[in-house]
Amino acid sequence: MAPLEITASRADPALLDLPWDQPLEDWPEDMLAALPRGISRHVVRFVRVSGRVLALKEINHHLAKREYEMLRLLGRIGVPSVVPFAVISGRTTRTGEPLDAVLITRHLQFSLPYRAVFSQVSREDTAQRLLDALAVLLVHLHIEGFYWGDVSLSNTLFRRDAGSFAAYIVDVETGALHEKLTDGQRHYDLDLARTNIIGELMDLQAGDLFDPEADPVEVGDDLVRRYDELWAALTERERFSADERWRVSARIEKLNRLGFDVGELEITTDLDGTTLSILPKVVDAGHHARRLMRLTGIDAQENQARRLLNDLDQYRASTEQQAEDEEFVAHEWLQHQYEPVVRAIPRSMRSKLEPPEFYHEVLEHKWFLSEKAGTDASLDETVRHYILNVLIHRPDEKSLVTTETSALPIFDS
């Protein structure tokens, strides 16, 4: 038997205990973390190793190494993506027949594939919320110069984000990072996304998971409109007269509301100084998440962070601490508001929702109870009512795993 080659930033010796001399499709079921299987040209399995859930994908050695490095690079530049764990190559059967390499990624906790979202979430705007998240992800990738090459719902995982969703890229086999994308590359990615998503929604309709009266083509067109609007807001040059300089701050505030920070802004004037133009040059996603992390240490999705920061602002006003330092009030809010609510989650239910999402839902439930009773419900009362009447019925999402991945073509090196 040929020696195994393990490429990993932190190799886990427990990986050596797995049956690498067998094709993934033949691995015994008692080793697997989950059994559901989706449509894929790659064999994908989930296993538990050293207390963590790992996703294993059997794939050509060259593509496995390339995707591993690409995922590491995306992680370094802050793109929401699954985390690469290792590549196992040099695999052979006991009789010496060569086997494909295996790309290993960490399972993204509390994430849902799009089919699971549609089977669990019955809101009418589910498709729109998923596509909003995908549009934000695609714009983020394109700003960084990443050409995806196979945009689809299948290649994406979704995490709940304060009533919306946050999208994470999963498969990057066809992707490539450039210094800057051409309009042609962006439009090809966007057109491919539209085509793939229309097909995926039609497939959901055939399985009674998507509104039979909805038009998948119209939903696909909505994705394009959402992307174009966001791209324009982030990248278009804006011109105005010299006495409207307030519009510089207004442009930055608008981008902040969209969840982006402006790292560099180009400001130019015409020859006589009567007209100014501004163009964002360096734009980073995650404005609210970074601010929340700085103030409280809470790691949250962008919309969750926005919701928690709004609650922090309300706490600051209700306790009449507008004149106090923001960091001081944030520390007090964390101790007296956020942490008591999160600690109230029974241990047996902590795999149902992430703490920031739980806090957001408690705030939503508080509004619901207060509206129903005609008086302000207390936070303690709301937490108890939510746990006993809502959370107890929620499925566990921390390690809800699926083998569904995209059906990608396999290219020989």
361-394 tens-digit pLDDT = 999 999 999 988 898 899 999 999 999 999 998 8
Range with the poorest average pLDDT among 53-57, 285-289, 376-380, 408-412: 408-412
| 102 part of a folded domain | yes
Same domain, 92 and 24: yes
> Taking each helix axis from N to C terminus, what angle separates 355-373 and 379-389, rounded to the nearest 10 degrees?
110
Residue 273 has pLDDT above 80, yes or no: no
Same domain, 221 and 116: yes
Same domain, 203 and 256: no
How far is 284 from 77, CA to CA, in rounded Å? Answer: 10
Based on the structure, what is the number of domains in the chain? 4
152-183 tens-digit pLDDT = 998 999 998 888 899 999 999 899 999 999 99
How far is 170 from 407, CA to CA, in rounded Å? Answer: 12
| CATH number for the domain that contains residue 188 | 1.10.510.10
Same domain, 115 and 230: yes
| 345 part of a folded domain | yes
In this structure, are residues 67 and 172 in contact, taking their beta carbons and an 8 Å threshold? yes
Same domain, 119 and 95: no
Where is the domain boundary, 285, 318, 351? 285
Same domain, 243 and 230: no
- Return the closest-CA partner of residue 366 out of 356, 376, 354, 352: 376
Task: Report the pLDDT value the prediction gives residue 407, as an integer from 0 to 100.
Answer: 33
| 292 part of a folded domain | no
Same domain, 194 and 131: yes
3-state secondary structure of 361: helix
| 174 part of a folded domain | yes
Same domain, 120 and 187: yes
Where is the domain boundary, 250, 285, 320? 285
73-98 tens-digit pLDDT = 999 988 999 999 999 999 999 888 99
Give the count of beta carbons closer than 10 Å to the beta carbon of residue 257.
Answer: 12
* Residue type (1 letter), 265: L
Q: Which domain holds residue 26?
A: 5-106
User: Cα-Cα-Cα-Cα dihedral of 97, 100, 106, 107, to 10°?
Assistant: -100
| 24 part of a folded domain | yes
Same domain, 217 and 318: no
How far is 371 from 382, CA to CA, in rounded Å? Answer: 12
| 163 part of a folded domain | yes
| CATH number for the domain that contains residue 72 | 3.30.200
Task: Report the pLDDT value the prediction gives residue 399, as an integer from 0 to 100.
Answer: 62
**Please, which pLDDT band fits residue 138 given cuts at 50, 70 and 90?**
very high
Tell me what percent of the residues of the chain surpass a pLDDT of 70: 92
Same domain, 275 and 332: no
| 404 part of a folded domain | no
How far is 352 from 341, CA to CA, in rounded Å? Answer: 15
Same domain, 305 and 343: yes
| 408 part of a folded domain | no
